[in-house]
Chains A and B, each alone.
Chain A
Amino acid sequence: MASTTKPAAATFDPTGPMLMWTLRITSVIALLAAWEWYGRKPESFTIAPVSEVATAMWDGFASGDFGRALAGTMLTMVVGYVIAAVIGVGVGLWIGVSRYAQNTIEPLVHAGYATPVSLLIPILGIYTGLELRGRIILVVLWCVFEILVNTSTGIKEVPPALIDVGKSFNASKFDLYRKVVLPAARPYIFLGLKIGVGRAIRGAVTAELLLSAANLGRVLLGAQSTFDIPTLLAGIVLTMLLGLVLMRLASLVERRSLAYRTA
């Protein structure tokens, strides 16, 4: 305790990891404490204290409701995402390499990208039904343009010097695309795929809240309608954690796939 005089200078470094972690952990504890304190006040009936939310979370998992809801939401999300990834990368590559597609398809894609997908919610049911199929289609629409635009941008932003080098080595057009353009565009494509994961989750949750109540959306809406604030907050935290974990996984995959660049 008393012998800390020598390394004191080191711990005073404002970016030292010790201090940073202390700050971070303190902030989390302070946040939770403030939440608990505010939630316990009798006049704040819209916010339940963190302890009750934790209990509700436990109950939700114990009864199996949360587990089933999670699985259902993830199924919707994954199916929609895979469809969107195939379409997005495919059409994005086409736009990236074809002048014709750039002239005719790309403006339509930008229109689609600018279109708030939620606009379609009132009529989507007419074409897809309101159940699983409709929700999957909404997920696809929610993330396909992000993947698509990133892919085509990646191809278009390949440094011309790389292509010149390829050409000067007499690469055939096919080899030029496969060995130069595609690898150079990969960071963009993977970025689009990563962002797509986040958007797919948003799409899935929005569909379950606004298109037809299901899975996590049903948990949230049910808790809201019965004014069960602890369960509502637990459901929100759970939904957000789902997004967080999946996004972390996506980042991990992205980083590993691009590891050759930094190695």
Chain B
Amino acid sequence: MRPEPAAQVAEPVAPPAPVAPAARDRLPLHQRVWFQRTVTWGLLLVVWEVFARQVGPFFFPSLSDVADGFRTIVGDGSLSLVAESFTQMLVGFGIAVLIGVPVGLLMGTFRPVEFLLGPYVNALFVTSLAAMLPFIILVFGTGFEFRVAVVALFAIFYVTINPANGVRSIDPAVLEMARSFNIGPVKRFLSITLPGTLPFIIAGLRLGLGQAVQGMIIAELWVTIGTGRKLTTLGLDRNLGEFFALAAVIVLVGTALTQSLMLAQRRFTPWSGDVAASVKGAN
């Protein structure tokens, strides 16, 4: 049973008072995190299993189907296929970062750069890049370059726009003060702009990485190659246990990559997420 949410509405942002471990232990059982998770997630799994048994494996895989599927993909080498796909994705993502972040910083710092590139970057950021796929394939063919190009294209505008916004978000008074203390532009950049922008950069990387994985899948589905080919085949065969297992592996790898960026954000820019961190820390 789900506890009535309204009954335990937390004070929106109470946690800044650091929750001592002792205080946490005194929470009633039904408010403890592990208990809520066990009950809710357990219930979801039960619903999943019952539903799957009702409709059968050709419509929805049961948990044991997924477990079997996982054993199969571990056995038949599909995991190396996934590793290969992610490696190619990281190449494309790396290209996007190497171009995007510096361009973003330039756009944020120099108004003429922003004025020239801004409209293009913003336009490409918001529109559907998938529309370009039929064209990219004509230019790059269906091989490695196609996939790298798609990934880079999907990620690059995220890793450009966020640093640019970050630079712009810096309080001009701080920069002005630095200037009045006769601090040179390089030092200003290194000790004010860059630290102030870092949370934005990392957030951009995180979003860009998500897009890059998206691009990887779309590219591979498009030319039916690698992991994408495997997914298509499993879907057509209605081999849903294996499909869900493989999809879960991809999601887990993607999540691990994103989480590592989250960790980086908390480690390198601890000042940026005080509120969010304290909310999380209270769990």
Contact = CB atoms under 8 A, between A and B. Distances in A.
A94 B10 CA distance: 11
A98 B234 CA distance: 39
Interface of A: 14-15, 20, 23-24, 27, 46, 94, 96-105, 107, 110-111, 113-123, 126, 153, 155-160, 163, 173, 176-177, 181, 197-198, 201-202, 204-206, 209-210, 216, 220-221, 223-224, 229, 232-233, 235-236, 239-244, 247
Enumerate the 6 nearest inter-chain pairs by beta-carbon distance, A residue then B residue, closest first.
A122-B235, A243-B127, A99-B10, A205-B128, A224-B134, A239-B131
9 contacts: A98-B8, A103-B283, A116-B216, A118-B214, A160-B13, A204-B128, A224-B138, A232-B138, A236-B134
A122 B213 contact: no
B250 A119 contact: yes
Interface string B107-130: 000011001100100011111111
B251 A103 contact: no
A116 B231 CA distance: 13
B275 A156 contact: yes
A122 B236 contact: yes
Interface size class of B (residues with CB under 8 A): 35 or more
B218 A210 contact: yes
Interface of B: 2-3, 5-6, 8-14, 16, 31, 33, 36-37, 40-41, 59, 111-112, 115-116, 119, 123-135, 137-139, 210, 213-214, 216-218, 221-222, 231-232, 234-236, 238, 240, 243, 247, 250-251, 254-255, 258, 275-276, 279, 283
A244 B126 contact: yes
B10 A97 contact: yes
A231 to B, nearest CB: 11
B250 A24 contact: no
Nearest to B125: A198
Contacts of A244: 123, 126-127
Q: For A15, A116, A224, A240, which residue has the most chain B Cβ atoms within 10 angstroms? A: A116
A8 B271 CA distance: 46
Given A100-B3, A118-B218, A119-B217, A209 B133 contact: yes
B13 A239 contact: no
B5 A27 contact: no
A255 to B, nearest CB: 15
Contacts of A46: 135, 138-139
Contacts of A216: 131
Given A198-B126, A243-B128, A104 B41 contact: yes
Given A102-B10, A240-B131, 8 more contacts: A24-B116, A117-B214, A224-B137, A232-B138, A236-B135, A240-B128, A241-B127, A243-B128
